[in-house]
Structure 1
Amino acid sequence: MGVARREEHRAAAAAFLYALTVLGVLAGGAGVRAFEDGTAVYIVTMKQAPVSHRRLNLEKFGSSKAATAVGRGGSGGGGGGDTPTTSVLRKPRQSSPKPMNYGSYIVHLQKSLLKRTLRGEHYVKLYSYRYLINGFAVVITPRQADKLSGRKEVANVMLDYSVRTATTHTPEFLGLPQGAWVQEGGPQFAGQGVVIGLIDTGIDPTHPSFADDLSTDSYPVPAHYSGICEVTNDFPSGSCNRKLVGAQHFAASAITRGVFNASQDLASPSDSDGHGTHTASIAAGNHGIPVVVAGHQFGNASGMAPRAHIAVYKALYKSFGGFAADVVAAIDQVLFC
């Protein structure tokens, strides 16, 4: 394996671990035991580059070199499945099928790996990861995990683990009112045109920190954002607006383990814990919102980028925290949007 390829694999693993840290989750000690039948959730990372790496290489080296690399079947170059350059991944046949984009291609590789390695055996695939890492979460036995680990296409097989919420600092501690806010035109404009994705316990869409009617000027949703807003009984239509532009939840690993309590944890982007609402308001809450707790006034609060938009990806829950498989699925969706 070449030096460049090894560095690419290390970078993918580092990106995965770094993302879990900076996006407000910490590894926990519980929740890693196997199910009664001996199976457990594993996260499998493949050696081939994810979509995000292809996009970065396309920007760095240009489409001509990327197209050459893809044509050779190499791992360098290429885009994210959203450019003509990367829509040439096909097998050399007499009657070639319709070209598939790179994201679809690596999902095909993942399915093929599972079928070839675990032929005739039972397994349950929970997620396909394409953007943060090229990999998947799957319910399998330790023996099956060892078989996957021995494949040359696989970079890493890791047992899923529980995660817990962490918090962050205030704009004043970071010196934003005298620093970045001044440079960006003041708190009324800081963060304008940016969508901040948050992986946490969800959000309370009725909180004034996320209202979009506090000013009379134009506040359009950025054209580059392509996320969705889930609609459920406790997160009804209209919960999203020009401030809160997207909201989804991820709980497949938790549900598979049987630890998900729908009445307490809420199978929706709605926040039953409060942590996600808190961190979202810290990141991009509206400027100058009064803070009142139990009738006591605690001044006015502002997010670090008060004019930014918010997209929420709920993967952490009140009763049990969360699991890495669900968190990675959330991050993967953030990178897609």
Structure 2
Amino acid sequence: MEKTYLTHILFVVFCLDMVMRVCCQDYPSAEVTAVYIVTLKHAPAYNYYDELRKRNSVSKHGSSPVLSRLDNPGNVSRSDAQYCYILRMHDSLLRKVLSGEKYLKLYSYHYLINGFAVLITPQQANKLSLRREVANVVLDFSVRTATTHTPQFLGLPQGAWVQEGGYNSAGEGIVIGFIDTGIDPTHPSFADDLAANAYPVPQHFSGICEVTRDFPSGSCNRKLIGARHFAASAITRGIFNASQDYASPFDGDGHGTHTASIASGNHGIPVIVAGHHFGNASGMAPRSQ
């Protein structure tokens, strides 16, 4: 009887010990993913294009390197090859470092920087940062828009605008790129229906005009010569607000249209708010595209 009693006690203690072990075990929490921007040490495609531009300039006996066309028939295949080479470099690195693991590459950057945006865990980001070919790994983050109110905010000296051509020619031959909330192609600041001084077709620009439901074919013209959208990161991170923003180049906020018009908007555009006329507006470089 006493032996049976001790056996029961030992069995109860053993069961309690097992319960405590199970309850106190540290189970790993679900892995949290985020978007990281990975930059590689290898030179971007711009270095290649720059060398190509210099060679073109020399071969044309002194023609301006800024205006030498990069995408002529003899250079397109080489430019595409450089892009494909960098793209393969990104994919190869991810396959090598994160073999057998889940990840989602969102974008490959090849022109001004050599890098990519990828949805991964902090542990995976650390693995990539330890690679000798990686320059840095930065967590993607949101930024708030800010508005410039006057040309004086830019710190331009008096008379600079007139010296650079004023509304007649300031910005002529320059293509300005904006990274912002988008652009409204119907805004008169970006119209190209100028009978007196039509905009030329820029010979040194090879970008694209992305066509979507919100940004249909014909949205671009000789003033607004290209537009693209990059919403994959925001959509993947779950912070994209479809009720306010567009998964297209179209501006749902107004900030991008505003800042683009400050820099490059046509001259003499009436500013009318709630029926009140506040005069005419002009971009600082109205002849730019």
Give the TM-score, by structure 2 length: 0.75
Structure 2 residue aligned with 1:92: none
Structure 1 residue aligned with 2:206: 226
- Which structure is higher in strand share? 1
How far residue 147 of structure 1 moved from its aligned partner, in angstroms, is 1.1
2:92 paired with 1:112 = yes
CA contact (8 A) 1:41 1:160 kept: yes
How far residue 172 of structure 1 moved from its aligned partner, in angstroms, is 6.0
Question: SS of 2:42's equivalent?
Answer: coil
CA contact (8 A) 2:71 2:206 kept: no
2:41 paired with 1:47 = yes
**Structure 1 Cα separation of the partners of residues 126 and 156 of structure 2:** 49
Alignment-mate amino acid for residue 50 of structure 1: P
- Mapping 1:150-169, distance limit 5 Å: 150-169=130-149
1:199–1:115 distance in 2 versus 1, CA, 3 Å: same
Alignment deviations for residues 256-279 of structure 1 (CA, whole Å, 9 cap, x no partner): 112223342111111111101100
How far residue 58 of structure 1 moved from its aligned partner, in angstroms, is 6.3
1:81–1:245 distance in 2 versus 1, CA, 3 Å: closer
Structure 2 residue aligned with 1:212: 192
CA contact (8 A) 1:176 1:304 kept: no
Alignment deviations for residues 169-228 of structure 1 (CA, whole Å, 9 cap, x no partner): 534666879634433443121112211111111112121111111342332221221222
CA contact (8 A) 2:271 2:277 kept: yes
- Mapping 1:78-93, distance limit 5 Å: none
**Structure 2 Cα separation of the partners of residues 204 and 237 of structure 1:** 14
**Structure 1 Cα separation of the partners of residues 133 and 47 of structure 2:** 17
Structure 2 residue aligned with 1:253: 233
Structure 1 residue aligned with 2:264: 284
Structure 2 residue ranges without an equivalent (≥5): 1-29, 57-69
How far residue 291 of structure 1 moved from its aligned partner, in angstroms, is 1.0
Question: SS of 1:278's equivalent?
Answer: helix
CA contact (8 A) 1:184 1:190 kept: yes
Question: SS of 1:279's equivalent?
Answer: helix
CA contact (8 A) 1:209 1:285 kept: yes
1:53–1:129 distance in 2 versus 1, CA, 3 Å: same
Structure 1 residue aligned with 2:288: 308
CA contact (8 A) 2:44 2:112 kept: yes
Partner of residue 196 from structure 1, selected from 169, 173, 176: 176
Partner of residue 267 from structure 1, selected from 247, 271, 282: 247
Structure 2 residue aligned with 1:182: 162
**Structure 2 Cα separation of the partners of residues 238 and 157 of structure 1:** 39
Alignment deviations for residues 55-74 of structure 1 (CA, whole Å, 9 cap, x no partner): 446667x79xxxxxxxxxxx
Q: Which moved more, 1:229-238 or 1:219-228?
A: 229-238
Alignment-mate amino acid for residue 90 of structure 2: Q
Aligned length: 246
Alignment-mate amino acid for residue 240 of structure 2: F
Q: Which moved more, 1:264-273 or 1:229-238?
A: 229-238
Give the TM-score, by structure 1 length: 0.65
Q: Which moved more, 1:250-259 or 1:100-109?
A: 100-109
Alignment-mate amino acid for residue 198 of structure 2: S
Q: Which has the larger radius of gyration?
A: 2
**Structure 1 Cα separation of the partners of residues 286 and 146 of structure 2:** 21
Q: Which moved more, 1:247-256 or 1:49-58?
A: 49-58
Structure 1 residue ranges without an equivalent (≥5): 1-35, 64-79, 88-98, 310-337
Alignment deviations for residues 2-44 of structure 1 (CA, whole Å, 9 cap, x no partner): xxxxxxxxxxxxxxxxxxxxxxxxxxxxxxxxxx641111111
Question: SS of 2:226's equivalent?
Answer: strand
In angstroms, what is the RMSD of aligned CA positions? 2.9
**Structure 2 Cα separation of the partners of residues 149 and 116 of structure 1:** 13
